[in-house]
Amino acid sequence: MRVPADSAVSAARTGDAWSRHAQAVEALQESYRAIPRDAPVRLAKRTSYLFRKRQAAGAPGLDVSRLGRVIDVDPDARTADVQAMTTYEDLVAATLAHRLMPAVVPQLKGITLGGAITGLGIESSSFRNGMPHESVLELEILTGDGRLITARPGEETDESSGERPRPDAGHADHSALFRGFPNSYGTLGYATRLKIRLEPVRPYVQLRHLRFARADRCAEAIAQICSSRSYEGTSVDFVDGTVFAPDEMYLTVGTFVDDAPFTSDYTRRKIYYRSLRERSADYLTVHDYLWRWDTDWFWSSRDLGLENPLVRALWPRSKLRSDVYRRLIAWDERTALSARLDRWTRRPPREDVIQNVEIPLDRIGEYLEFFHREIGISPVWLCPLRALRRWPLYPLDPNQIYIDVGFWSRVQLRAGQSPDHHNRLIEDEIARLGGCKALYSTSYYTEDEFWRRYNGPAYRPLKDAYDPDGRLHDLYEKCVVGR
């Protein structure tokens, strides 16, 4: 028997739900056609988790406010049809009502499903499920040339050859676009609906925080967990890590369980990342586990003074969430208040170093040694990842385990250092170690280097086929130039 998705965040599984989706897509197409053909196109969204500087928009953004619903959850098939601007907060609420969850739930509530697919996402189930786009069964896309198409996986092909896709041949095979859509950042088109795979959950997650004093020992444990999906005889459903110092790092392994002797609450006074040092075992409800990082956006809330007990007590509980902090950061970026305060107090200039990078597991020790020596940010997040297949625009090797290293802070510049000194060091080190870098933040690659790293021969045929008039900026223009 089919059960409708939670009515608080979804229309019921009726003809009306799909009709409302069709109307929303039609309105989006009309909005797209109304934008002058020589004007830049971008989405009008309240919150963005991008951290790259962009030129001011010359035209109003596309209104996607009607594309934020869960259309249907099918608990028998373990699938969901979801509009692309649906936040993971709403999607998780709808699926947990059926004791299901998306295969990968990015750690921040305000991230949208479409954003995680076109811009990539990751979390602690990525060691077994890859990235969010790897559980997508079907993509509905408004392409750069204004068409509404449906793309599905199709057969495995080698997009690195640069073979031109034939989107209108035969049965309208758009599998090349399906494979090329992840990491395209809205430069080929915009997703409007996605059909995704779900997986069952249990009520609680048991956590074990394992301390390591050496990066090589930590890497050995990660390799063993990724291989066996267990640790010391207990199955592992989730794994991520936190580095506080060169000789202090923790792997947190999570296991679904039916019962818990207690549960912790990190949504008010207690701070999750501090608990890693304070206890070796913990229990959370599955809901609180999925959002354990959102309350403090890992440790970013400390920059707003929210680790101060008095400030935290006065701060509204409903505002202890990452999308609120992101809007505050965006306001600071627009007003340059922090930069002006630095000048007024004669504080040395600082460089924003906000990145997620993928490093091969067997090189993670080298990368952390470099990072502690040259960058010095702490803590640092670690998330094991194995791609389930090859994806053209984010070329990870499915036979390789990677560690996503996340770091988000400001680093003081010394006299004579350029404003992009540390970010360029990181890009060079990634190249040396055979890694890859997410594009949600500022990049400094030359155009030739960028297309070598992000598979220009595969991207260009897709761009020509689905945005032949160049209504959307290309990937280099958007992610490096900042258009």
Q: How many Cβ atoms sit within 10 Å of the Cβ of residue 134?
A: 18
pLDDT at 275 over 80: yes
- pLDDT value at position 155? 56
Q: Model-level pTM?
A: 0.91
| Mean of pLDDT values over 234-246 | 98
- pLDDT value at position 46? 67
| Mean of pLDDT values over 399-428 | 95
* % residues pLDDT > 90 (the chain): 78
User: How far apart are alpha carbons 218 and 221 in whole angstroms?
Assistant: 5
- pLDDT value at position 10? 40
40: confidence class by pLDDT, cuts 50, 70, 90 = confident
pLDDT at 346 over 70: yes
- pLDDT value at position 59? 57
| Mean of pLDDT values over 64-93 | 96
- Indicate the pairing of strand 248-257 with strand 281-285: unpaired
- pLDDT value at position 186? 94
Bridge partner list, 138: 195
186 close to 475: Cβ distance less than 8 angstroms: no
Phi, psi values for residue 43, rounded to 5°: -80, 145
Q: Which of 31-45, 258-272, 366-380 has the lowest mean pLDDT?
A: 31-45
- pLDDT value at position 331? 84
Bridge partner list, 285: 204
pLDDT tens-digit readout, 93-128: 999 999 999 999 999 999 999 999 999 999 999 999
Q: Which of 4-8, 134-138, 144-148 has the lowest mean pLDDT?
A: 4-8
252 close to 289: Cβ distance less than 8 angstroms: no
- pLDDT value at position 478? 92
Q: Which domains does the chain have, with CATH numbers?
A: 15-200 (3.30.465.10), 336-444 (3.30.70)
- Listing DSSP states for 151-209 in one string gives E---S---GGG-PPP-TTSTTT--HHHHHH-TT-TTSSEEEEEEEEEEEE--SEEEEEE
Question: Is there a cis peptide before residue 167, judged by omega within 30 degrees of 0?
Answer: no
pLDDT tens-digit readout, 457-476: 999 999 999 999 999 999 99
